[in-house]
Amino acid sequence: METTKFILSEKEIPTAWYNILADLPYPLEPYLHPATKEPIGPADLAPLFSMELIKQEVSTERFIEIPDEVLEIYRLYRPGMLFRARRLEKALDTPAKIYYKYEGGNATGSHKPNTAIAQAYYNKQEGIKRLTTETGAGQWGSALAMACNFFGMECVVYMVKVSYNQKPYRRSLMEVYGATVYASPTTNTQAGRKMLEMDPDSPGSLGIAISEAVEEAAMRDDTHYSLGSVLNHVLLHQTVIGLEAKKQMEMAGDYPDVVIGCCGGGSNMAGLSFPFIQDKFAGKDVRVVAAEPKACPTLTEGEYRYDFGDTAGMTPLTKMYTLGHDFVPAGIHAGGLRYHGDSPIVSLLYEKGVIEAVAHHQTSVFDAAVQFARAEGIIPAPESSHAIRAAIDEAIKAKEAGEEKVILFGLSGNGYFDMTAYDSYLREGLKDYDFVLACDEENK
Ligand SMILES: Cc1ncc(COP(=O)(O)O)c(C=O)c1O
């Protein structure tokens, strides 16, 4: 019998996260203070983040133990499933073997709880009562709302307005967990008011929503800020994905030639690929590909330089690939990929040629999503569908070359709250935006 699902037992959930900073052959440039432009220290970050998370941000310990309280909640949904996409392989008539690691099988539907639970836990340990955050697609806000609820904390979510309107039930889901949700930009904060003065119809962006969440957290002692991607500690928590996938690929008797993840701030792609990049640093031949939208092509068309993580310029300056912190991407359906910057580690790895990147228009991404759904059943999140597009392209190339390639991609979330997007795709077709065109349109 051919195996389709590779299933680990609860005992095999990783008990430590893998920290790639222990193995990076290149130095990572420090964060700089937004005003002084000097490297920042822990004291600068303490008003916003828990001390344990600040330590993790700079730690060079190779493995960092996962606290029991976090593991106990991980057990609600981990280990995640690894599938062999046999029906998709048949549909594509490819000699390639396609595997996908599915993170959409938990209560909120994506990889985001892997870090939300850890961040809520460490903040709770240090006496923090409220967390503020931004959300694009709503996946991150949902995950943090659930995690805060588990630890008895308040959660305030600034949801990018275009996504808030596209996905009203994401807001309801967050409210079920007890969170307060605002459509950003709001009049609650200086950053939001300034944005609304400039453009009362602003669709919002992750950069603006971050400014609002950071501003609110900075004003209250009982409140910290929580970020769903980009930062080193977030990528660290996501490595449970790749650590499990490595064991599951071993069960399948294969090792990937290429590992693919969609890339917004970089956390799911990093979480899946970093344990494989550890092997690559040790001499293994494995390619890693980041898939991003052409409307927000941070790696493929951005510049590698210091920039702010938010629109208002309140966050530390970060050396990263960026499209400019004031860039407001077009309102594509993959809300979670509408971020102007990228993780500093992912950016460095891309700059050094360790990882590759591809960019796709949303129509071809939804073509791939529907092809995948019709073969495998699961309706994928629009963000994750960028990885599906890239994986299908690799499988078609393998067919043309007559190669039996092993492809592993991250299915970072399900798309059951994204039916408005699928409805538009199926009924009217979607509009595609190039980066330059998107800038021109937004600047009109
Ligand atoms: C399902 C899904 N995948 C991917 C992303 C992109 O984030 P990251 O690049 O940090 O994984 C998001 C962000 O909201 C998401 O919801």
The domain ranges of the chain are 14-38+49-64+114-225, 80-109+241-443
Q: What is the pLDDT of residue 443?
A: 38
Q: Does domain 80-109+241-443 have CATH number 3.40.50.1100?
A: yes
* Cα 263 to ligand 1 centroid, rounded to whole Å: 7
- Cis-peptide into 185, omega within 30 deg: yes
Distance 412 CA to ligand 1 centre (A): 7
Tokens of 206: 């992750």
**How much is the pTM?**
0.96
Alpha carbon of 268 to ligand 1 centroid (Å): 6
- Do the bridges between strand 97-102 and strand 81-84 make them parallel or antiparallel, or are there none, so unpaired? antiparallel
- CA-based torsion, 362, 367, 371, 377: positive or negative: positive
Low pLDDT (below 70) residues in the chain: 437-444
- Cα of 336 vs centre of ligand 1, distance in Å, is 5
How many whole angstroms separate alpha carbon 388 and alpha carbon 394? 10
Is 69 exposed, middle or buried (CB count within 10 Å of its CB: 0-12, 13-18, 19+)? Answer: middle
Q: Find, among 165, 64, 54, 155, the residue nearest to 108 by Cα.
A: 155
Residues with CB under 6 A from ligand 1: 110, 136-137, 139-140, 229, 262-269, 336-337, 381, 383-384, 412-413
Q: Please name which of 402, 391, 407 lies closest in space to residue 97, comparing C-alpha atoms.
A: 407
What's the pLDDT at 330?
Answer: 87
Q: State the closest ligand 1 atom to the C-alpha of 230, by its place in the atom list counted from 1.
A: 10
| Substitution site in 115, 157, 162, 229 for ligand 1 pocket (most atoms within 8 Å of beta carbon) | 229
Please give the CATH number for the structural domain made up of 14-38+49-64+114-225: 3.40.50.1100
* Shortest-distance Cα residue to atom 15 of ligand 1: 336
If one residue of 101, 110, 167, 340 were mutated to test the ligand 1 pocket, choosing by the most ligand atoms within 8 A of its CB, it would be: 110
Q: Taking phi first (over 0 means left), then psi (-120 to 50 degrees means alpha), and beta for anything else, what does residue 310 get?
A: beta
- 267 CA distance to ligand 1 middle (Å): 7
Question: For residue 78, what pLDDT is reported?
Answer: 98
b/e sequence 350-381, b meaning 16+ C-beta within 10 Å: beeebbbbbbbbbebbbbbbbbbbebbebbbb
Q: Which residue has the tokens 């494989």?
A: 276
